[in-house]
Amino acid sequence: MSDLTLLPGSVTLSRLEHIWREGLTASLDPSCRQAIADSAALIESAAIGDAPVYGVNTGFGKLASIKIRPEGTATLQRNLILSHCCGVGEPVEAETVRLIMTLKLLSLGRGASGVRPVLVTLLEDMLSRGVLPVIPAQGSVGASGDLAPLAHMAAVMIGEGRAVFENREMSGKDALSAAGLTPVSLTAKEGLALINGTQVSTAFALTGLFEAFAAARAALVVSAMSTDAAMGSTAPFHAEIHALRGHRGQITAARVLRELMEGSEIRDSHLAGDGRVQDPYCIRCQPQVTGACIDLLWQAARSLEIEANAATDNPLVLRDAGLIVSGGNFHAEPVAFAADQIALAVAEIGAIAQRRIALMVDPVLNHDLPAFLTPEPGLNSGLMIAEVTSAALMSENKHLANPCSTDSTPTSANQEDHVSMAAHGARRLKRMTANLAHIIGIEALCAAAGIEFRAPLKTSDALQAVLAKLRETVAPLTDDRFLAPELSDAAALILGGDLERAVSGDILAEIRP
């Protein structure tokens, strides 16, 4: 039995995130079955008809003008899968493979792909019993579908390729057999339905989106700590300032910062002024920068939620009209744009976070904190090189944020002459969010040290709870020590959500897809 029942066309990103994070399985709502069967019947009729229908009784791509006899239908579909298994690179991680399979279920469940219900059932059973195809991460240009990676998924369904079952890699045939499942023999259009579509690009983009939102929430929590550590002013977070501009993300970010810092003794100690007229932008403009990034993530989330529920193969069966029509829903341009938006947001959240780190470690810029946040500067270097690492990661993310959607190259003998490059545009997000988590983790270590140097003054109750959670994993830095593992531990607290969960109530609840 599956953990979740999904109704195609109305699945939320929240449900998909649960599937991805918690390893849940999914099946389609039974109400989908009739539409799936009806579209399969239309394909069956077309396969034996005289009229050429792309991918049903013709070849593919540049070979679409070649008519295929009815007795060659099964061979055509099998050959399609095998010939398209040309992926390279590292295998996609198991959590994302589950998400890819779930997205393919949702697409087939729209009843426009012309596959028999038996294919849907096999995908559901593979998910529920833990048969996960080995899918190489590289090979898709994000147009005409994610052909190569999806072919590796489909290969297991026909008893070919490689799969992981019970933590062991084996042939697709052996994996199905070990799980008590039987390979399927494809009929007209079914191979094409499995490999056409944007499910791999979309899954990569969704995992990047989920981790970007986690990082954005953590960034606000940690930046509130940094503001207190630097004795920054909270006046720029006044609600009316942000209402006068009107951007939702900015308004939300300012509210979160106000609520996180409410009751801080450190903040109250300098409300009357300490001679500084204005803080640097990395403190003063946090709502404007991080808020704009959150707005970008919300826009990307809307595009990806639509795409996750879409029928994106070709041709599509228009059941009410009784037509089978060739189109271009497999072109992943919306996903490519969403991935580029996420990349920009991730890069900018990291860029302003890195400047807060630089502010806190620099005795010229910070307010009465020791150089590099060590009790004995000179004898100890403290967090000097942790800041340098954050700068390296920030710069790397800047380069990775260059758009992929503006790239294209003709493929398939110029038949597919404009492509989206969505797959690698989305796949890069994993590397970027990992970099961002390390940047924010380093900022958390700096901010925690800065707050502790302000004793006996205390930060707010909310931020004290965050500081306590951090200190369960990483001890205060007194004398210099081997820091690399602690930087990784801090990054894990960011993407794992541990620091944000230390904040009570629903302060951060709005900052989600």
What is the spatial distance between Cα 184 and Cα 173, in angstroms, rounded to a whole number?
Answer: 11
Q: Is 281 a catalytic residue?
A: no
Long-range contacts at 165-174 (CB < 8 A, ≥ 24 apart): 165/129, 165/130, 165/131, 165/132, 166/130, 169/134, 172/133
* HEC-encoded secondary structure of 310-378: CCCCCCEEECCCCEEECCCCCCCHHHHHHHHHHHHHHHHHHHHHHHHHHHHHCCCCCCCCCHHHCCCEC
What is the spatial distance between Cα 421 and Cα 443, in angstroms, rounded to a whole number?
Answer: 33
CA nearest to 138, candidates 94, 86, 96: 86
What is the spatial distance between Cα 174 and Cα 167, in angstroms, rounded to a whole number?
Answer: 13
Q: Residue 482 to residues 371, 383, 437, 449, 486: CA-CA distances in angstroms?
A: 19, 11, 20, 17, 8
Pairing of strands 168-171, 162-165: antiparallel
Cis peptide before 456 (omega within 30 of 0): yes
Local structure of 89: helix, strand or coil = strand
Q: Crossing angle of helices 94-108/147-157, nearest 10°?
A: 90
The torsion of the CA quartet 474, 477, 479, 485, rounded to 10 degrees, works out to: 40
Residue among 54, 165, 204, 210 flagged as catalytic: 54
Please identify every residue annotated as catalytic: 54
